[in-house]
Amino acid sequence: MHSPLTTVPARPAAALRGALPAFALGLLFALSLGGCGGGGGSDSASPTTPDSAATGVTTFTVTPTLSGVAAVGAPLTNGQVKVIDGSGSVVGTATTRPADGSYTLNLSNKVLKAPLLVQISSVDASGSPQVLHSAVPALDASKPAMWANITPLSNAIVALAMGSDPQPVFAGSAASAAAMAAPAASAASAAGEFVKSMIKTQLSDLKITNTAALDLLGDTSFLANKGAQDLLLESLRVQLNKTNKGLEQLLISNKLLPSATPEVQVSLGLAQTELLKSSGAAPALAITSTLKLASTAKATLDNLPLLDELAAGLNGLIAQGKTAAEFKAATQLSAYTQHNSADKDALAAKLADFAVKKGQIGRFMVTGCADDALVAGLCKKVLVAAHVNDSSGALLAQFSDAVSFTKGASASTPGQWGLVGNGRNFAMNVYPVSVMHLEPDASASASSSAAPNPWVGIQVAIQSLSTNATPVKLMDTATVQLQSGYSIPFAYCSRPLMCISSTPGATVVKPTGSIAESVLQQSALSWLGSAESQRGAKYSASFTLDAKPLTETRSAYLLADVPATTPAARFPAIDGLSGSQPLTVAAMRAGLTLNFASWAAANPDMRLISVRALMVGFLLPLYVDTEPPPAGTTALVLAPVAWPSSATVTVELWLGAQDAAGRRYYTRYALPTL
């Protein structure tokens, strides 16, 4: 039996039709009159028809098409592409192909207002949600076959030209098209050149010498195949960010640096002001960081073109149905040690399972570096991730590990990449966290135990159990030192992650089952200051492993600022809850279907990462974790949850979500005590 909870449908695409907000329309029209990057790409200024010159409208004699490739270093596969024109009308949708991230669509109208703005919602090879944008700045009636690649760099160009994150253009309310601001002819072209100026090091490393001809929006030859322009994406971390003071920023850095602190920070608003100037524009004034260029990763980039040969070799073995023992003996695993406690046996079993499920590993995407420090641009252990799909394109798994390059025996012998693991006995990460406490009817909890509501903090995720076939305890205690010098004790609590301890030196603590057992709460811990809450804050843990009595230190860096305030709409929410239709204990006992289509539609840049039913009232809390659904799925069936009817139990349902920047949002539904 399932709960009678109803599904609130996602807002249809037609709801986006109409005019865009005035600020967006003005900048979109500016895009329509300016190219980006020169060199004859689709983002270059083109001749227009007479009616286009007068009104920005172009009439095509045949059905216009739009094609492109969506990639972040590896293809964005099965991504949802949406196209709007300068009037705000949705004029096309498509799904990127599983093999290469490409898309092609017929636009719904032959009469279009420039520019075309493109959005993709997808999940990258690491499982991180991605919402990226691109544009066709100018329309030409004689060129109905248009092209727009969608990458982090195209997203940066559109954001700079608009002065803000482009995502609200697709999700926000509409305004009258007559409210367009005066055009600015060179906005897109100047934005593209500005982006190139901040990545000069990478362009030089990749021997892209004719930067004037580099078209970051409309290069029809672009492929996610480890070519020069694809490696440009592999070498850079490009993000949009909003500070706690509301400042919208573009952040650029070398992807292989261990710290999450961006190297180049740009104020989008100030950059837009400069880019719209008809003369004397100086967008570099918008760079608020000391560094003006991202640093080099050349020594690593020189070998990355051969990385996909590793995936090809593994896929050949998978297609042959090799066993775990055969994978363990394969040359691709010859130097493998371990990866976050998982040994070579565990990796070989995983690869053999891909063979059983008839899956294949997609192109690898670089996600970072496992080295403690990058030396002269060389990363010895490169972190990578890849989708694993079956022949229909369905996602089976997301594979992640570390690889290393071995040089050939001679100058004429090419080297090769192999799986090596990061060599670490456990994983440690830190995340900004926001937690909202709700009642069964989805109203905010007024309980004093939930105050403040929502609350924020930093999750310190220290792995405490191995991920091998037979999990074993990795450590009894860990001490985490904050950037300000204060230290927090952690202890083993029979859970996958270490728990915060209230007793220094304790080797075991009682778990609570809630997210709070591993989160340093700002409202409850006076030792947390601004230094601990900023992107790039360093957290160092010292510990003694059970397997080898040797004290070590491990560091992790905060991926994003801890938000000062969090809009309620960001927290994962169940559709259809109300005073007359609350979440009930009876429904959880029977098993129910959770629908969250409304939340997913409003937050395409987020994904559900955890679902937990928690029962508190026993000697130890009991919980049941349910695997989150794959990207694009907005319903989840929970199995019936049982406990002794004689027990006095408090039941909670916890939903966790994460955005592309690594911020985590948790919603706790508290049900009545039985």
Q: How much is the average pLDDT of 25-35?
A: 45
Residue 137 pLDDT:
87
DSSP-assigned states of every residue in 38-103: -SS-TTS-----HHHHHHSEEE-SS--EEEEEBBSSSB-TTPEEEEE-TTS-EEEEEE--TTT-EE
Q: How much is the average pLDDT of 590-609?
A: 93
Residue 9 pLDDT:
34
User: What is the helix (H) or strand (E) element at residue 117, kind and residue range?
Assistant: strand 116-123
Let me know: does 362 contact 125? Beta carbons within 8 Å: yes
Average the pLDDT over each of 30-39, 138-147, 480-489, 562-571 and give the range with the smallest value: 30-39
Same domain, 547 and 440: yes
Q: Please count the structural domains in the chain.
A: 4
User: What is the helix (H) or strand (E) element at residue 351, kind and residue range?
Assistant: helix 344-356
In the chain, what are the helix, strand and coil shares in percent, each to the nearest 5?
20, 30, 50
Same domain, 359 and 260: no
Structure tokens at 183: 């055009």
pLDDT band at 271 (very low <50, low <70, confident <90, very high): very high
What is the separation of C-alpha 100 from the centre of its chain, rounded to a whole number of angstroms? 19
Let me know: does 387 contact 362? Beta carbons within 8 Å: yes
Residue 174 pLDDT:
42
Measured distance CA(651)–CA(642) in Å, rounded? 11
Read off the pTM.
Answer: 0.89
Let me know: does 5 contact 581? Beta carbons within 8 Å: yes
171 is a domain residue:
yes
Q: Looking at the predicted structure, is the pLDDT value of residue 14 above 50?
A: no
Domain boundary pick from 274, 296, 318: 296
Residue 641 pLDDT:
84
Residue 23: strand, helix, or coil: helix
What are the strands, taking DSSP E only, across 590-644?
Answer: 592-595, 606-616, 622-626, 635-638
217 is a domain residue:
yes
Let me know: does 254 contact 236? Beta carbons within 8 Å: yes
**CATH no. for residue 616?**
2.60.40
Residue 399 pLDDT:
97
Same domain, 61 and 202: yes
Same domain, 346 and 366: yes
Q: How many CB atoms lie within 10 A of CB 650?
A: 15
113 is a domain residue:
yes
29 is a domain residue:
yes
Residue 550 pLDDT:
60
More confident position, 46 or 561? 561
Let me know: does 461 contact 428? Beta carbons within 8 Å: yes
Q: Looking at the predicted structure, is the pLDDT value of residue 119 above 50?
A: yes
Place of tokens 């580099």: 214
More confident position, 513 or 150? 150
Nearest to 607 by CA among 633, 638, 639: 633
Same domain, 176 and 33: yes
Amino acid, single-letter form, for residue 424: R
Q: How much is the average pLDDT of 493-508?
A: 92
pLDDT band at 642 (very low <50, low <70, confident <90, very high): confident
pLDDT in tens, 455-473: 999 999 999 998 877 888 9
Residue 548 pLDDT:
64
User: What is the helix (H) or strand (E) element at residue 324, kind and residue range?
Assistant: helix 324-328
Residue 329: strand, helix, or coil: coil
Same domain, 521 and 489: yes
Same domain, 515 and 538: yes
Q: Looking at the predicted structure, is the pLDDT value of residue 21 above 70?
A: no
Q: Looking at the predicted structure, is the pLDDT value of residue 39 above 60?
A: no
Same domain, 412 and 467: no
Domain boundary pick from 394, 419, 444: 419
pLDDT in tens, 157-185: 999 988 889 888 887 644 432 222 233 33
Structure tokens at 134: 């691109």
Nearest to 549 by CA among 475, 642, 445, 652: 475
Residue 279 pLDDT:
87
Same domain, 534 and 447: yes
611 is a domain residue:
yes
Q: Looking at the predicted structure, is the pLDDT value of residue 283 above 90?
A: yes
158 is a domain residue:
yes
Same domain, 145 and 96: yes
- For the chain, the average pLDDT equals 86
pLDDT band at 547 (very low <50, low <70, confident <90, very high): low
Measured distance CA(534)–CA(385) in Å, rounded? 27
- All residues at 6 or more sequence positions from 549 whose CB lies less than 8 Å from its CB, including other chains: none
Same domain, 433 and 410: no
5 is a domain residue:
no
Residue 329 pLDDT:
98
β-strands 65-69, 90-95 pairing: unpaired
Nearest to 135 by CA among 163, 154, 122: 154
Residue 589 pLDDT:
87
pLDDT band at 66 (very low <50, low <70, confident <90, very high): very high
Measured distance CA(539)–CA(615) in Å, rounded? 32
pLDDT in tens, 193-235: 999 999 999 999 999 999 999 999 999 999 999 999 999 999 9
Measured distance CA(555)–CA(428) in Å, rounded? 8
pLDDT in tens, 366-397: 999 999 888 989 999 999 999 999 999 889 99
Average the pLDDT over each of 62-71, 395-404, 545-554 and give the range with the smallest value: 545-554
Nearest to 339 by CA among 417, 425, 430: 425
DSSP-assigned states of every residue in 255-307: TT-SS---SEEEEHHHHHHHHT-SSS--GGGGB-SS--SPPP-HHHHTTGGGH
Domain boundary pick from 365, 394, 419: 419
More confident position, 121 or 642? 121
Average the pLDDT over each of 134-143, 370-379, 465-474, 589-598 and give the range with the smallest value: 465-474
Same domain, 264 and 317: no
610 is a domain residue:
yes
pLDDT band at 51 (very low <50, low <70, confident <90, very high): very low
The torsion angle over the Cα atoms of residues 429, 430, 434 and 436, rounded to 10 degrees, is 50
Place of tokens 């069964």: 440
Question: What radius of gyration, in Å, describes the C-alpha atoms of the chain?
Answer: 26
What are the strands, taking DSSP E only, across 469-575?
Answer: 475-481, 487-491, 499-500, 519-521, 538-545, 551-557
Structural domain harbouring 551:
428-557
Q: How far is CA 492 from CA 466, 496, 506, 553, 627, in A?
A: 13, 9, 9, 17, 24
Residue 508 DSSP one-character state = B
Measured distance CA(307)–CA(405) in Å, rounded? 9
